[in-house]
Amino acid sequence: MSECEFCFCRDGKSHYSKCPVVNQSSVVQLNGLSTAATLNRGRYKIGMALNHGGFGITYLCKDLEYDRRVVIKEFFPDRFSDRDIRQSNSVRYHGISDDALGMMQEQFYREYDIMTKAAGPGIPAIYDFFPENNSAYIAMDFIDGITFRKYLLKQKVRLPWWELRKKFFMPLMETVSRIHRKGILHRDISLVNLMITKEEKIVLLDFGAGRDFHEQDSAGNLRFANKMYAPIEQTNPEKGYRQGPWTDIFAMGTVFYTAITGEYPPMALERPQKAVESAMTYVPDLPEEVDDVLMKSLFYYPQHRFRSVEEFSQALSAVPDPPRPSIWGRFFRKFKETDIKGRN
């Protein structure tokens, strides 16, 4: 039985959607590992590159020991790394001091450590961490799906708030609440760091900006990856606002507001000069109570937001679903529509 060298699908099964065999826009990483290269004494076989930039390159790989697809993230700082795959898979670093490189390597290991601590439903399982090729690698569960952003864009009509709440918002808050109870902040929740599986389950990815609650705010751990979702305590650390659960709550509020309205709220960098518009401006039939919850999660000053994800979740879940017409109501409406059409 033949197997695709890029996505490891087998005869009779469809290719992964990003596989270059079926997708001309798949990721090309000139300095990445070649397909069929192996890692960790031959356990992992490299397939296609999924993404690159920032701290590393991610690959779709085959775990030959357990006959499963996994994702492997390679430490490969953008702009400071290269390799000559004609001679060696070893990574070379340039244009960066040893101290700065050491800080990046520590951050990469921290991502592995935090994901291991955060393990549970709604987060990719971590399988392995190992040094090789003058670099380091994290092996984790392969999540077959699309980003929440792409999922929303694919919908023919905007999903109602109560459906979004049940399917995605509440499960996400349950996941984030659990990692907060373990003393971890994610600090990079966004529509592109949330994956929707084929079963329409929501999974939180990329803990590269994560940190423990007990860590003191410093220049090194204040970094954030997406300014669209980052609150004032991340965008303007000089103001002295402490990070905490309310930091992830702001990012989740941005995700929820955007999913419900189809519009991004103003970034923290644009405020307080540019106020957040009521979500009811875009969704007139949105309950005022839902709008109030969203607005509280998006307050500019952290002390005015919800103090915990549990408080945020309780406020959102307290709003009842809109009443649904009874079966007789639907029957008579259908009968009336048929009657009207019959008269024309």
Kindly list the distances between the CA atom of residue 326 and the CA atoms of 79, 120, 287, 331, 333, in Å, as whole numbers in the listed order: 61, 39, 21, 9, 11
Shared-domain flag, residues 268 and 166: yes
Same domain, yes or no: 185 and 171: yes
Clarify whether residues 154 and 137 are in a common domain. Answer: no
Determine which of 11-15, 154-158, 231-235 has the lowest per-residue pLDDT on average: 11-15
> The domain that contains 136 carries what CATH number?
3.30.200.20
- The range of the structural domain enclosing residue 218 comes to 145-317
Q: Which of 109, 141, 173 is the endpoint of a domain?
A: 141
Q: Which residue has the higher pLDDT, 68 or 212?
A: 68
Residue 327: inside a domain: no
pTM equals 0.85
Q: Which of 115, 188, 197, 208 is nearest to 148 (CA)?
A: 197
Q: Are residues 109 and 64 in the same domain?
A: yes
Q: How confident is the model at residue 217 (pLDDT cuts 50, 70, 90)?
A: low
Q: Which residues of 175-198 are buried (b: 16+ CB within 10 A; e: fewer)?
A: bbbbbbeeebbbbbbbbbbbbbee
Q: With respect to residue 214, please indicate whether it lies within any of the assigned structural domains.
A: yes
CA distance to 46, 61, 195, per residue, from 164 (Å): 36, 32, 14
- pLDDT (tens digit, 9 = 90+) per residue, 69-127? 999 999 998 889 988 877 788 999 999 999 999 988 988 898 899 999 988 999 999 99
Tell me the average pLDDT across 209-238.
70
Residue 336 domain flag: no
What is the C-alpha separation between 61 and 8, in angstroms, rounded? 8
Residue 334 has pLDDT above 70, yes or no: no
If asked whether residues 234 and 116 sit together in one domain, one would say no
Whether 151 and 130 map to the same domain: the answer is no
pLDDT digits (tens, 9 = 90+) for 32-49: 898 889 999 999 999 999
Tell me whether residue 326 is in a domain.
no
CATH number of the domain at 230, please.
1.10.510.10
Residue 343 — very low, low, confident or very high, per pLDDT cuts 50/70/90? very low
Residue 266 near residue 300, CB atoms below 8 Å: no
pLDDT at position 133 is: 95
Domain count along the chain = 2
- Among the listed ranges 20-29, 74-83, 276-285, which one has the minimum average pLDDT value? 20-29
Q: Each residue of 142-170: pLDDT tens digit?
A: 999 999 999 999 998 899 999 999 999 99
Q: Residue 86's pLDDT is what?
A: 76
Residue 235 has pLDDT above 90, yes or no: no
Q: Does 23 map to a domain?
A: no
The answer to whether residue 13 is domain-embedded is: no
Indicate the pLDDT class of residue 341, thresholds 50, 70 and 90.
very low
Q: 135 and 154: one domain?
A: no
Q: Helix and strand tally (H, E) in the chain?
A: 9, 13
Same domain, 94 and 205: no
Average pLDDT score over the chain: 87
Q: Is the residue at 224 inside a domain? A: yes
- CB burial class (10 A; 0-12, 13-18, 19+) of residue 256? buried
The arithmetic mean of pLDDT across residues 329-342, rounded, is 54
pLDDT above 90 (res 64): yes
Widest distance between CA atoms in the chain: 83
Domain presence at residue 30: no
Final residue of a structural domain among 141, 170, 196: 141
The encoded tokens of residue 2 equal 């033949």
Asked if 213 and 311 sit in the same domain, the reply is yes
Report for 208-212, 308-312, 334-338: range of highest mean pLDDT: 308-312
Q: End of a domain among 120, 141, 162?
A: 141
Same structural domain, 244 and 278: yes
Contact at 8 Å (CB) between 38 and 46? yes
Q: Are residues 153 and 98 in the same domain?
A: no
Are 254 and 310 part of one and the same domain?
A: yes
